[in-house]
Amino acid sequence: MKRNKRKLSLKKIIFAGLFFCLLGGVMYFAVWHDFFWIEEVEFKDSNFIPEELSSIIQENLEKKLWRIIPQKSIILAPIKNIRDDILNSFPEIKEVVIHKKLPNILEITIKERKMIGVWCQIKEPEQKEEEITTSTEDIIIKNKERKIDKCFHIDKEGVIFKESPLIKGSLILNIYGFKNSPAELRDNVASSGVMDFILKINDGLPKIKTAEELFLEVNDFEIVSIEDLRVTSSNSWQIYFNPSYSADSQLETLKTVLEEEIKEDYVSLEYIDLRIERRAYYKIYGI
């Protein structure tokens, strides 16, 4: 019995040794043989392919683990590092998806950020007239002069990703906002909820008519706080919205108050305040 056990133990040792030798050979072949070294990078469904992209990928593939083991093999390719370096180098790229295709191909899909407007950082506002207290017990500074610091392209998630001049015009969505520190690329300057609210208001306001059958036009938006969004119309009067409530409900309240209360006096409007749910306060010059 003891002899049989020794034979079994010896067989196990031999088989284990052969197994590890075979495994080591396979790993050596996979890592060191150029058959598995990455030879091609395919960009799938990507219109945005910067020239510097190839050098970022190549630099990562040339790096070695512990200064010995090459990472150019499809097995050891540093996918996470490549993805992080691309995202850090190009703020206009939103997402990078990388797949390994045996034996030696990397497939990369790049998703760009889509500009929906221009966001500008406002410096500390200067008060030019007296503060006006509204019936909602808020202090509103009228006719404050905007001092623009920098402007950027902004996407629907509220991320700024490219510097831009201030572009005025009805075809461009202009958004102003305060920020305590200087704005940097990739900063999230507004929540996705606030941006969604802005897009709904920007789409809904031009569908509302005044008493003279003229449609409302938007000049710009200003994000004062998460509960205070101010829209300046082409007639220079303002509308105060609250992004915490339904955009559709506030647009309906605005439509009702213009049709039933303000009517032709809209040309003399100073502001309409819709920040309290299902209520509207407004001020007309001279009243």
How many CB atoms neighbour CB 228 within 10 A? Answer: 17
Residue type, 65: L
pTM summary value: 0.79
Give residue 111's pLDDT band: very low, low, confident or very high (50, 70, 90): very high
Tell me the CB-side half-sphere exposure of residue 59, using CA atoms within 13 A: 10
- pLDDT over threshold 90, residue 110: yes
Mean pLDDT (the chain, rounded): 82
User: Do 236 and 255 lie in a common domain?
Assistant: yes
Indicate if the alpha-carbon torsion angle 209, 213, 215, 219 is positive or negative: negative
Give residue 222's pLDDT band: very low, low, confident or very high (50, 70, 90): very high
pLDDT given for residue 132 in this prediction: 38
Question: Length of the chain in residues, anyone?
Answer: 287
pLDDT given for residue 157 in this prediction: 97
Backbone angles phi, psi at 142, to 5 degrees: -90, 150
Residue type, 47: N
Q: Which residue has the tokens 């309409």?
A: 272
Candidates 235, 210, 229; CA nearest to 273 is 229
Give residue 11's pLDDT band: very low, low, confident or very high (50, 70, 90): low
User: Do 97 and 168 lie in a common domain?
Assistant: no
User: Do 122 and 65 lie in a common domain?
Assistant: no
User: Do 179 and 144 lie in a common domain?
Assistant: yes
Higher pLDDT, 13 or 176: 176
Report how far residue 266's alpha carbon sits from residue 214's, in angstroms, rounded to the nearest whole number. Answer: 11
What CATH number does the domain containing 132 carry?
3.40.50.11690
Average pLDDT value for residue range 244-270: 91
